[in-house]
Amino acid sequence: MRTFQQIGPLRTYLRGIRQEGKTIGFVPTMGALHAGHMSLVKRAEQDCDIVVMSIFVNPTQFGPNEDYNSYPRVLQQDLQLASNSGVDAVYTPSTEDMYPAGFQTLITPGPLAAYLEGEHRPGHFSGVCTIVAKLLNIVQPDRAFFGQKDYQQARIIEQMVHDLNFGYEVVVAPTVRAEDGLALSSRNAYLTEEQRAAACAISLGLNDALRAYTAGECSAKALREIVECRCRNEALVSLEYCSIVNSLTLEPVEEVCSVSAVILIAAKVGKTRLIDNILLPSRTS
């Protein structure tokens, strides 16, 4: 596996790959890799000739009171895991290379970023779009791979890639979960054993709602109540939002049946903020 810290050598390497007629799959990450990240690598391996991963904890997507400083950084462990999983090249830029003195251009996403995470984390998606755009411009992959785990992020990136004519295919892969249902996340490492057990209320609530939807419940209010009830019963879980929205526009829906919808949830377990979601496919399609 090749590792690159500098843009120049990475670009030279990738030019060579393209000249050989090979396709490039790209998996951007913030590191502290887990099976969720590795599922994107596996998918990229299936779809492309070579897989490039980036590991960069992006400061511009963290708010002033968020966990940028404490975010888990385990680069050597990550490189080992990436190498064992067949990643061909890892790009680990420095913050100075990504945001040199005088840097001033940020991407502003549109209405998809207005609600939910965008409302609770002002500026977050501008930071996400800016770093993803920079990385896509550097790597120029054929396909870029993102997780459904960060549903709103994936939709906003799809929209940016379309709006700005990036010409890369965006692939969104399913959420990988622990055996008890908790969505894998680098932030799960912050949880104590007790908090980790309590955090299951999030995915249990989402699954309860999916089951009720499958059994015929269409009211978004009723489905939300099912999720909220699970979380209320867990003293360590404090719900930030639970919204049922159109899966494309992310606008709130009242009745779910005729549109494809998604339940999006953010909750704090102790000081750790977790997000998750579940799709409610349209019954009419």
Scan for tokens 């785990």, then name that residue.
149
| Per-residue contact string for residues 30-59; x = within reach of ligand AMP by CB under 6 A | x-----xx-xx-------------------
Q: Residues binding ligand AMP: what is the number (CB under 6 A)?
A: 17
The answer to whether 202 and 185 are in contact (CB under 8 A) is no
147 forms part of the interface with ligand AMP (CB under 6 A): yes
Which residues face 91 on adjacent strands? 4, 54
* Residue in 29, 126, 195, 272 binding ligand AMP, rule: CB under 6 A: 29
Closer of 10 and 128 to ligand AMP (Cβ):
128
- Listed in sequence order, the DSSP H helices in the chain are 7-19, 35-47, 75-84, 95-98, 117-120, 124-139, 151-163, 193-198, 200-214, 220-232
Q: Which of residues 153-192 bind ligand AMP (CB under 6 A)?
A: 173, 175-176, 183-186
Which residue in the set 4, 26, 125, 146 belongs to the binding site for ligand AMP (CB under 6 A)?
Answer: 146
For residue 55, give the nearest of 36, 24, 33 by alpha carbon: 33
Which one of 34, 37, 124, 162 is the catalytic residue? 37
Residue 60 is a binding residue for ligand AMP (CB under 6 A): no
DSSP structure class, residue 60: G
CA proximity to 137, closest of 102, 105, 114, 111: 105
Work out which of 117, 142, 150, 276 binds ligand AMP, going by CB under 6 A.
Answer: 150
Structure tokens at 272: 């750790």
Smallest distance from ligand AMP to CB 187, Å: 8
- 134 forms part of the interface with ligand AMP (CB under 6 A): no
Is residue 202 within 8 A of residue 177, CB to CB? The reply is no
What amino acid positions are annotated as catalytic residues?
A: 37
**Residues of this chain that bind ligand AMP (CB under 6 A):** 29-30, 36-37, 39-40, 146-147, 149-150, 173, 175-176, 183-186
